[in-house]
Each structure stands twice: as C-alpha cells, then as structure tokens.
A and B are shown apart, each in its own frame.
Chain A
C-alpha cells in the first residue's frame, strides 16, 4: 500500500465527521491495492510450488539414475564372476590334461617325474626309504593284435583301475609308457615293496576279461627296487627296476622280481 493512501485513510479514521464519499473513494483504492497484493502473493506461491516440485523430481531422477547404475554395476560384477569361474574351470581342465593320462585317468609320466623328485628330496631330509616298481602287462601286443585296439584300451583302463584299488592311499601309480606303469611306494623299503608289488600282480591276474575276448589271459610282470641313500636322481633306480622287470619277463612273466 502506498504512503499517500495510508495517510488518507489515517486522516479519515481520525476525523469522526469525515464525508461518506471520501470514505468510499479510500475504500475503493484500498480494495484495489489489496487485490493487487493478493495476486502477487498467489503468483509467488505458484512459483515457489513449481520450484519445490522441480527439486523433488530432480531428486527422484537422481535416485533412479543411481539405482540404474547400481544395477548395471551388479550385472557387470555377476557376469565378470561368471567369466572368472569359467577360466578357473578351464585352468583345472588344462592342469588335469597336462598331468594325467587321458585314457586311464592315471597321472602321466611328467607328473610322476615331479613326484619322484619330491620323494628324493623328502627321503634326503627324513632318511625314509621309498621304492618304485615298473609294471608291464604281459603279451599286450598280442592282445592288441588279436582282440583289437579298442579291447586293448579297455584292458589298459581295467589294469589302471585295478592298480588304483590295490595300492595304499599314499602310493602313486602313473602310466609310464604304452602298457607300462610306474608305482611309487612311499615310506617303503624293499621288503614291504615286495609284498605290495605281489598284491598288484595278484590284482591284475584277477581282472575279469571273459567279456572282452575269448581266451584272453591278463597278467603283469613287475620289477621293483628301493631308492638307495645317496642317490641324487631317480635314473639308477629306474634302471634297476627295468632290469628286474626284464628278469621277471625272462622268468616266464606273471611274477615279481626285486632288484638285488
């Protein structure tokens, strides 16, 4: 309300005899002023409301965007974990392939060589004896020739399974060559090795083969030796076991010979 109107109204209010027409004119001006003020107030309220709404929407869209980002990151993490576990599986498979023989599932020559190196180191530390045995399936070539390679493969699998079953938990058997297997008898001197090797021989001779080929006889010859204190590599022991194996073959097969 302007100052001029205010002083007019104050003048009229202080004069008990003020003229009605003057009062009316002042009232009209006052009313006009009041309406203008009201309109301004309405507009201010509207503007304020609009700002409030906009702020609220902005907040919501931030929350929404944030939620979207979180979902996206979660998805990336989930997929990435999936790829990682895929790589781990692949790695495990490659490790198995590089250390095991595909046909028999037994450890392969490379893996056995590592274990032999460990066994030598352990033996040097603890003075504990260990022995090795070479197992060769008798007349395997004849089996392959007469019954076919597919049957030959089944024979190899059965022999491998039999050896796994007839060994102690801490011994290790590997496919060393075609029909030749190498057994590592841990913490085992020559006397014990003789018994364990005999158990393997009996196990192989007891493998059922009637379903494979008529008249198929399955036996194995075994040569074994004890690793000697002071030996640095496995080579000499392997040579002794191999010589013993030849003696077993010469002695008519299906028998166990220990290196002297």
Chain B
C-alpha cells in the first residue's frame, strides 16, 4: 500500500499517511465543500492499514477548526481505531494545540471521551 498525501488548502488540512512508519498526520482547518471526497481515501487507508500492516498506528493531529461533516469523519476514524484497539492492535493519537487557543483543546477532549486507546491532548511547545 502507498503513502497517502493530501496537500493543504485554505479549507482543508494537510494530510500525510505513512505506511511504513504507521503514522498519520493532519494539520490545519477543515471545512471542505465535500468532506466525503476529502476523508474517504483516508478512511479507506486506515481500514487497509489496520487490516494488513500488522504494525501500530499513530495519529498526530494539529487540527484547528472542523466543520460538522469533518467532525463526523474524524469520529469515524476514531471508531476504526477503537475497534482495532479492542481487537488488541496498538493504536494511539495525540492532538496538539496552540496555548492561545484553549477551546481547541477542550474540543479535542470531547472527541477523546469515548476512546479507550491512548489519546493525549497537549499544548504545542
């Protein structure tokens, strides 16, 4: 399976999924016109990785603003990771945010609420 690289745009985050490292990074704002188009390749990638790679998966997030459909897609990805975690696979996530934007941290907490895999929320240093 290939790496997945989606360039940042004013309304969508930079997305990079590295198959060998087992790391996905997402940075920026997300309010694309068609969030299905943006997120489906990533959701498919996560599904393939969790099914085939046999290695841990780490999600590195620096997302700032998310519109409603992006929130939904992120929850789908967390659900995929949660299922893998319950099957015994190693998955983790880290959400970092600027200290000046405390609200982003609070919202990350809301995302993390139902996840039982390691999920840390940190102020960007």
Q: Spell out A's residues near B (CB within 8 Å).
A: 72, 75-76, 78-80, 82-83, 85-87, 89
Contacts and interface: CB of A to CB of B under 8 A. Distances in A.
Nearest to A78: B110
B57 to A, nearest CB: 22
Contact of B65 (A75, A76, A86): A86
Nearest to B68: A80
A79 B111 contact: yes
B106 interface: yes
Greatest chain B CB density within 10 A among A72, A79, A86, A87 is at A79
Contacts of A87: 65
Contact of B71 (A76, A85, A86, A89): A76
Contacts of B111: 79
Contacts of A82: 103, 106-107, 110
A79 B71 contact: yes
A78 B114 CA distance: 14
Contacts of B71: 76, 79-80, 83
A19 to B, nearest CB: 74
A80 B65 CA distance: 10
B107 A72 contact: no
B119 to A, nearest CB: 15
B interface residue count range (under 10 / 10 to 19 / 20 to 34 / 35 or more): 10 to 19
A76 B68 contact: yes
Given A75-B113, A80-B67, 19 more contacts: A72-B75, A75-B75, A75-B110, A75-B114, A76-B68, A76-B71, A76-B72, A76-B75, A79-B66, A79-B71, A79-B111, A80-B71, A82-B106, A83-B65, A83-B66, A86-B101, A86-B104, A86-B107, A87-B65
Contacts of B72: 76
A149 B62 CA distance: 39
B83 to A, nearest CB: 13
Closest 3 pairs (CB-CB, A-B) = A86-B103, A80-B68, A82-B107
9 contacts: A72-B75, A75-B110, A76-B72, A78-B110, A83-B65, A83-B66, A83-B71, A86-B101, A86-B104
